Amino acid sequence: MGMDRREFIRIAGLSTLLGLGGKGAFELLRPGQVEAAMAAKPEAQGVVRWAMVVNMQKLDEATAKKCIEACHRVHNVPDFKKPKDAKDTLPPEVLNRYEVKWLWTEHFHNAFPGEDHPNMLEKVAHLPFLLLCNHCDNPPCVRVCPTKATFRREDGIVNMDMHRCIGCRFCMAGCPFGARSFNWRDPRPYVADTFPGYPTREIGVVEKCTFCAERLAQNMLPACVEASGGALVFGDLNDEKSRVRDTLKRYFTIRRKVHLGTNPQVYYIV
Amino acid sequence: MGEKYKNEFGVFAERPQVEKKYYNAKYIFTGLAVFLILLILPLAPNLGKTVPPPQRQLDTPVIQKMAEKDRQCIMPTDWMRANHMQMLVDWRDKVVRTNEKGAPNGRDFVSPDGKKYLASLTNTCMDCHSNKEKFCDQCHNYVAVAPNCWGCHLQEGKKLAEAK
């Protein structure tokens, strides 16, 4: 016997009411994690968890500049404003877009958007907040990378494998902190003095701060921390006696855009 | 008169008589000749010549300074010649992925004779083999491979820069 139209609509309607149609039913009966969920991962599994505290009470414009210079020098970060050869001079309209930065400064209202207000302490509003990759516990850049070029190490460092980067820039869209830069052109002619032993990058890859993974491997502190004269504190969060833990215990600190759930690991003392 | 022949449209009295000849022969054969000459032209200068295989050049300052018995690469020479590319790829993966979940510390390389080296193209290999043009490029050109290491990696490591 065939089913007439009225009968078909009745059964279809009832099934929909009971939630028996489509993927929704499975979600309802056996709830699992949605792939794109922003749930924070459980605590870091590694023995070491690197983190940084930026003490804005000690950091002034000059020190911040010194830190940035130290960082960009040892990592061969190009400065597109200063080509080695005059023929590589870029038109001013692209300079901003081409900028590659691992470490940079921003005022409070840009560093902590939404937390500023018109009547806030003027001194803080004009501080040069030193910004870098936050090496998040739940890094969106790692989740969106289609080639796993960006990955999270067991010690919490979010690192990049330049050999794998295909330059899709998903990570730049994913990172809410603007910590990633794209090489729109070959950076070599814009690296003033090449630092021996550390590679440059090629056209078409994304780069960012690595918490100086190559220096940590040699038991050295990150270059910016060394240059900061005590304004930056770096160490192991899992070690109770470390300087970061001590600093975090003694001062009240804030972090950037915590409400996004990425759990950033760069702390700011204001 | 030719014989009758049949096709799908019916039976016809005779085959059409078509003169047998090459049409436009002048142009076709000139064109073919020009094509063949162009094809052979780039190969002609090397015809019959044998290009001698490149000789490895080990006369860099660092190697010259070493005692004769210490002049040994991190692995036997024959092994290195055959497998250095795979070794560099392994180094790359191990060093970059150090401390990734489940990955061991890959920055150290221990040679069969027990010596420890930093796994680094620029900072270890290029210290001794600082003559890239003679040591790397010569052979790579000979076998027509173009490894893209040098787009990012520098020729000069820290040790060498400090020694200067």
The rounded distance, in Å, linking the Cα atoms of A174 and A141 is: 5
Domain spanning A50-269: which CATH class is it, in words? alpha beta
Q: Does A236 touch chain B (CB under 8 A)?
A: no
A140-149, A200-209, B28-37, B123-132: least confident range: B123-132
Indicate the pairing of strand A266-269 with strand A50-55: parallel
Residue pair A237/A137 in contact by the 8 Å Cβ criterion: no
Any B CB within 8 A of A200 CB = yes
Question: What is the number of other CB atoms lying within 10 angstroms of the CB of residue A73?
Answer: 17
A217 touches chain B (CB under 8 A): yes
Question: If you measure CA to CA, which chain A residue comes closest to B125?
Answer: A197
The answer to whether B157 contacts A201, with C-beta atoms less than 8 Å apart, is no
Rounded to the nearest angstrom, the minimum Cα separation between B95 and chain A is 9
Backbone φ and ψ of A176, nearest 5°: -80, 0
More confident residue, A178 or B68: A178
What share of chain B in percent tops pLDDT 70? 93
Cβ atoms of residues A190 and A83 within 8 Å: yes
Within 13 Å of residue B120, how many CA atoms lie on the same side as its CB?
Answer: 24
Q: Are B92 and A200 inside 8 Å of each other by CB? A: no
Give a three-class secondary structure readout of B24-60.
Answer: CHHHHHHHHHHHHHHHHCCCHHHCCCCCCCCCCCCCC
Exposure string (b/e) for B76-93, b if CB count within 10 Å is 16 or more?
eeeeeeeebeebbeebbb
Judged against a pLDDT cut of 70, whether residue A38 lies above it is answered with: no
Select from A77, A100, A198 the residue whose CB has the most chain B CBs within 10 Å, as the one to mutate to test that interface: A198
Convert A139-197 into a string of H (helix), E (strand) and C (coil).
Answer: CHHHHHCCCCCEEEECCCCEEECCCCCCCCCHHHHHCCCCCCEECCCCCHHHCCCCCCC
The pLDDT of residue B104: 66
**Residue extents of the structural domains in chain A:** 50-269
Q: Considering the entire predicted model, what is its pTM?
A: 0.79
Cα(A60)–Cα(A82) distance, rounded to whole angstroms?
25
Residue A243 in contact with residue A236, Cβ under 8 Å? no
Given a cut of 60, is residue A44 above it in pLDDT?
Answer: no
A192-232 pLDDT per residue, tens? 889 988 999 999 999 999 999 999 988 899 999 999 999 99
Q: How far is CA B58 from the centre of its chain?
A: 21
Report A:31-50 residues touching B (Cβ under 8 A): 45-46
Minimal Cβ distance to A196: which of B98, B100, B154: B154
Q: Is A79 on the interface with B (CB under 8 A)?
A: no
Q: CA of A180 to nearest chain B CA: how many angstroms apart? A: 18
Distance CA B129, CA B156 (A): 10
- State the Cα–Cα distance between residues B142 and B31, nearest whole angstrom: 34
Residues of B in contact with A198 (CB under 8 A): 154
Element (H, E) at B109: strand B108-110
Contacts of B96 in chain A (CB under 8 A): 159, 161-163
Residues of A in contact with B105 (CB under 8 A): 217
Kindly provide the b/e burial profile for residues B105-126, where b requires at least 16 CB atoms within 10 angstroms of the residue's own CB. ebbebeeeeeeeebbbbbbbbb
* Whole-number average pLDDT of chain A: 91
Taking any CB pair shorter than 8 Å as contact, residues of chain B touching chain A are 92, 96-101, 105, 107, 120, 122-123, 151-154, 156-158, 160-161
Q: Scanning every residue of chain B, which has its alpha carbon at the shortest distance from the alpha carbon of A77?
A: B152
Beta-sheet pairing, A253-254 with A232-236: unpaired
Residue B110 backbone phi and psi in degrees, to 5: -110, 120
DSSP string, chain A: -PPPHHHHHHHHHHHHHHT-SSHHHHHHHS----TT--PPPPSP-SS--EEEEEETTT--HHHHHHHHHHHHHHTT---TTS-SSGGGPPPHHHHHHH---SEEEE-HHHHSTTS--TTS-HHHHTS-EEEE----SS-HHHHH-TT--EEEBTTS-EEE-TTT-----HHHHH-TT---EE-SS--GGG-SSPPTTS----TT-EE---TTHHHHTTT---HHHHHTTTSEEEEETT-TTSHHHHHHHHS-EE-TTGGGS----EEEE-
Q: What is the predicted pLDDT for the residue at A37?
A: 60
Average pLDDT score over residue span A96-125:
94
> Which residue in this structure is represented by tokens 């220096």?
A215
Q: Which amino acid is at B38?
A: L
Compute the average pLDDT of residues A1-6: 82
Residue A136 reports pLDDT greater than 90: yes
Q: What tokens does A19 get?
A: 């939630």
The token duo for B54 is 């490149």
Residue B118's DSSP bridge partners are B108
Residue A161's closest chain B neighbor by CA? Answer: B96
Residue A133's nearest CA partner among A95, A104, A93 is A104
Are A196 and B98 an interchain contact pair (Cβ–Cβ within 8 Å)?
no
pLDDT in tens, B79-128: 999 999 999 999 999 999 887 776 666 788 888 888 889 899 999 999 89
- Test the A interface: residue of B91, B99, B122, B150 with most A CBs within 10 Å: B99
Joined together, the tokens standing for residue A72 give: 């960009």
- Angle CA A75–A180–A145, to nearest 5: 110
- Whether residue A161 and residue B99 make contact (CB cut-off 8 A), yes or no, is no
Query: For residue B153, what is the nearest residue in chain A, using CA coordinates?
Result: A199
- Asked if B96 and A161 come within 8 Å (Cβ–Cβ), the reply is yes
Which residues in chain B touch residue A201, judged by CB atoms under 8 angstroms apart?
152
**Nearest residue in chain B measured CA to CA from A148:** B97
Give the closest of A153, A198, A201 to B99, CB-based: A153
